[in-house]
Amino acid sequence: MKAGVVAVQGDVTEHADAVRRAATAHGESVDVVEVRDAGIVPDCDALLMPGGESTTISRLIHREGIASEIREHVRNEKPILATCAGLIVCSRDAKDDRVDPLGVVDVTVDRNAFGRQKDSFEAPIAVAGLTDAFHAVFIRAPLIDEVGSDVEVLARIDDRPVLVRDGPVVATSFHPELTDDPRIHDLAFFPDMAVKA
């Protein structure tokens, strides 16, 4: 499997390590490539959209011609895991003129909404299909507001969605790449394994 980490800005290394860990756990070999230019995404079987600063990531993926390739990746039903700023960039509406969202996840988000109450926090969350709680790390996390009818909500905190699936895209407002637990990467890329975990 060839996995591309959109690497224009954000926590790229952590995602590269996390997808390698998930693949190794299932005896799969994975070739991880960093995506900074156009022309790489079309060869990728899977994509990771890291956390970071959504305004910067949005600007750079449009400027470099990567944005349209990500949309094409989704049209081809290939998987993406988008976390935090990645979720904001993938949303339908980020309610911020500096973000030109890709609209590949049918949700609207409020940037830094959790952050206004509390900058960063960690909490165990119950995830649909997983037996044990997942330890979720939230850092200036976006709040998911409106959720389209085809979007599955897989986890919530205080009744707010924090983990959703829209077709081939799994998106989180927290940072699964910052823990050793590969189960969210499994949900995105090895769904049969995740259910067994």
Active site residues: 84, 175, 177
Kindly tell me which of 56 and 147 has the beta carbon lying closer to ligand GLN: 56
**Per-residue DSSP letters for the chain?**
-EEEEE-SSSSHHHHHHHHHHHHHHTT---EEEEE-STTSGGG-SEEEE--S-HHHHHHHHHHTT-HHHHHHHHHTT--EEEETHHHHHHSSB-S-TT------S-EEEETTHHHHH-SEEEEEE--TT-SS-EEEEEESPPEEEEE-TTPEEEEEETTEEEEEEETTEEEESS-GGGSS-THHHHHHH-HHHHHH-
Cα dist. 136→1, 7, 22, 37, 162 in Å?
26, 22, 17, 31, 10
Kindly tell me which of 59 and 71 has the beta carbon lying closer to ligand GLN: 59
Closest-by-Cβ residue to ligand GLN is: 51
**Closest distance of CB 71 from ligand GLN, Å:** 20
**Closest distance of CB 196 from ligand GLN, Å:** 30
Tell me how far the alpha carbon of residue 25 is from its chain's centroid. 20
Kindly tell me which of 30 and 58 has the beta carbon lying closer to ligand GLN: 58
**Closest distance of CB 148 from ligand GLN, Å:** 21
- Phi first, then psi, for residue 168 (nearest 5°) are -80, 0
Kindly tell me which of 4 and 52 has the beta carbon lying closer to ligand GLN: 52
Kindly tell me which of 53 and 64 has the beta carbon lying closer to ligand GLN: 53
**Closest distance of CB 171 from ligand GLN, Å:** 12
Chain residues in the site for ligand GLN (CB under 6 A):
51-54, 84-85, 88, 111-112, 139-140
**Closest distance of CB 69 from ligand GLN, Å:** 21
